[in-house]
Amino acid sequence: MSPASLASPSSPAFLASSSPLSGDGESFAVVVFLGFVAVSLLLCGLAAADSDDPEHFYAGGGAAFGPVGGGLAVAGDYISAATLLSTTGAVALDGADGILFACATVVSLFLVMRILGEPLRRKGVFTLGDFLADRLGAPSVRRPLGVACLVVLAPLLLVQLSTAGRIMAAMFGLPDGALTGCTAAGGALMVCYAAFGGMRGVGYVQILKVGVALTAMLLLAGVVLARYGWSAPALLGAAREHSGAGADFTRPGLHFGHSLAGRLDLIGFTATLLVGAACLPHLTMRLHPVREARTARRAVGWAVGPVALVCGGVVVAGLGACALLGRGPVRAADPGGATALLMVTGALDPAAGGARHSMLFAIVACAVFVTTLAAVAGITLAAASSLARDFGGRPAHGVGSGAAAREIRRARLGIVLVGAVAVVVAAGLGDRGRLTLISLSFAVAASVLAPVLLHALFLPGHSATGVRWTVYGTLPLILLLLAGSPAVSGTPFAVFPDHDVRWFPLQTPGLISIPAGFLLGLVGRDRPRTPEHRPARQDGAPYARQG
């Protein structure tokens, strides 16, 4: 099979070459897939008995797991398809830049656990809208925070869901016409996880996913290193030699180029990844229920450690893909390198008659599918929670069992609606705009959610006015800059590669939008209000003092 036939996991050539997985590889893929689905549904069913009220439905995970389980659940929420596929491709194509992106991923999680882990703890707080309304004493901030959270979560959900459908079709050797059905099946599973299991059920799924992804990536990294005598320098040297980029492969700047615009793009992209990944709503949602500061501190290692190991495996796999295949075939298969992780399995197991016929491919493909499915469940729960809490009127916390039951019904209905819309849109989009959607999500998280959170936590006098300025001022700026960027037109990975309407030279707007978000929050800040002038909380408790 030629590497060019792997242009996309959803391409006809990719699927034709994968039909069927032969021998043990096919059987193993089926067993792992069905086993994961059965165990995860069982765990969600066990958790469903405790999801009858908002406290259990929204917060059952972090409160119940303790530092070990809570940390692993956070790690599961943090590891996504982009972590495995896109970062592996970045390492294979861009060398030092990809390694930098992998390191930024780990550092970002460490920052959120150390800086935001303890301040975000609060009883009765389930979403970022809840937290800001409680912190600032202004329920009016719920809606703008809800808008920002949905803009962050919706693109991520589409990318993860379409990836799950493509991987499922590849694992079972299904034809191109089955992609829509596979996407719908993934959507149905995510709805079951989120609607019945709530936060605790999704937490169980995330812990299970961490074990599968960690095992697969460490196994793949071990096979790659064994090929080069367990010598990391030998692997790096082979990757540099076969990259065709020479010394540039081991120097930052290969991805965006060494021009001034390229250097600025690298800085902006790294800052966006570092700050944006730390403020993703489905990640911060898991930090609210933690009851004790000591538990939050102990969970840091259990969250960061598995992510660091997975990212280490990703770096080794990316270097192995470049060393065994070369940058040219990897780029020909996919301009962003998203298929590099699956391609390297075929190069490591040539006797199997192709990547799709190997046991190693079955293991890695199952790990990617499990990762995307669990990530989709967490994102869907966060999106539906924001709809129910931030747009659904008065939250039900502390106002009676009838109102609480209605809110849970709204949340579950929201999960079903989010899942249905996501399946339809993801099936229609296919691979188009995958990188652009990811850029949009992280840019909004870094430029809107990060300023709002940091100002609310550390800037005395920050108010609802500052939140609205940040949200409604920065969101249009991000959309405007992205529309005129290479991420939308004029490049092979753009939404419209055959058209060129670029006027903004950077691929990511973070270098402009992140400072703008912080500045707009400062411009819109009010003088701090005293507690006696603040509206009463829904549960009758006083608001925390700002500081």
* DSSP code per residue over 86-111: IHHHHHHHHTHHHHHHHHHHHHHHHH
Is the predicted pLDDT of residue 148 greater than 80, yes or no?
yes
243-272: buried (b, 16+ CB within 10 Å) or exposed (e) per residue? bebeebbbebbbbbeeeeebebbbbbbbbb
The pLDDT confidence band at residue 25, using thresholds 50, 70 and 90, is: low
* Residues 6 or more apart whose Cβ sits within 8 Å of residue 58: 126, 127, 198, 199, 285, 289, 385, 389, 411
**Percent of the chain whose pLDDT exceeds 70:** 83
Least confident of 75-84, 324-333, 492-501: 492-501
Beta carbons within 10 angstroms of residue 31's beta carbon: 12
> Residues 101-119: what's their mean pLDDT?
86
Task: Measure the CA–CA gap between 345 and 316, rounded to whole angstroms.
Answer: 13
pTM: 0.84
Which range has the top average pLDDT, 28-37, 197-206, 283-292, 379-388? 379-388
* pLDDT of amino acid 217: 93
pLDDT at 5 over 70: no
Tokens matching residue 146: 């809800």
For the chain, the average pLDDT equals 80
How do residues 122-146 score in pLDDT, each as one tens digit?
766 788 888 888 888 888 888 999 9
d(CA 419, CA 531): 41
Tokens of 211: 């074990």
CA distance 425 to 407: 26
Q: Is the peptide bond before 542 cis (omega within 30 degrees of 0)?
A: no
